[in-house]
Amino acid sequence: MEDDAPDWNRRQRGVSNKIRRNCPLSEATRCAWPPKMLNIGESGARRAVRHEEFPVVNRNALILRYKDPAVRWINEADPSPDGDEITLANVNQERTVYLIDDRIGEDPRYFERWLRKNYGEIFEMELDGWYTDPTLWPQDRSLALFRAWFDVELHTVLVDLGKGEMYDDET
């Protein structure tokens, strides 16, 4: 068993290096791989994770990190302010993870084309997460505004640590 670990680690470092070379995002937004130790199971015991135990999912993860202009809009558009303003730290504490096709992250140019084509839908989902009344949303929902409001993080290695099958919990 132990003899397999170095080969697995070498393969994963190769994947990680490929991601670093092809990643269209800044150094700060890249995810670290491979995880050395993870808390696994109900006991929380730390142990090394092996590829055979947990599959790498054939998706990329897109996560938006809010910037100050978006937070200003959240606070200014609030139809019933209660005095407590939302902060940048609050907004970025819990974020939606968008799973996208794994081929999108293979090439920075392809990712950029995909983002230009799909940012509008993502933008509207984020706005709807704050206020369901579209009249409160900004009229200008351009790509330039999207980029002014969000930093885009792309994570190209996703490991499924769950025990059961994935399903849509809204159906």
Whole-angstrom distance, CA of residue 157 vs CA of residue 34: 9
For residues 158 and 168, give the distance between their C-alpha atoms in angstroms, rounded to a whole number.
18
Which is more confident, 136 or 162?
Answer: 136
pLDDT of amino acid 160: 86
pLDDT in tens, 131-155: 999 999 999 999 999 999 999 999 9
Mean residue pLDDT of the chain comes to: 77
pLDDT score recorded for residue 42 = 54
Q: Quick one: pLDDT at residue 161?
A: 85
User: What's the rounded Cα separation, in Å, for the pair 53 and 163?
Assistant: 11
Question: Are the C-beta atoms of residues 56 and 157 closer than 8 Å to each other?
Answer: yes
Residue 34, preceding peptide bond in cis (omega within 30° of 0): yes
pLDDT of residue 53: 66
> Where is pLDDT greater, at 96 or 34?
96
Can you give the pLDDT at residue 51?
Answer: 52
Which amino acid, 164?
G
Query: The whole model's pTM is what?
Result: 0.68
Q: How large is the average pLDDT for residues 112-123?
A: 97
Cβ-contact 114, 104 below 8 angstroms:
yes
Per-residue pLDDT at 1: 37
Residue 36 in this model has a pLDDT that exceeds 60: no
Please tell me the distance from the alpha carbon of residue 143 to that of residue 128, in angstroms, as a whole number: 17
Take residue 6 and report the two structure tokens written for it: 């170095």
What are the tens digits of pLDDT across the range 73-115? Answer: 999 999 888 878 999 999 999 999 999 999 998 889 999 999 9
Would you state the pLDDT for residue 55? 79
The better pLDDT of the pair 35, 74 is held by 74
pLDDT above 90 coverage of the chain, percent: 51
End-to-end CA distance of the chain: 41
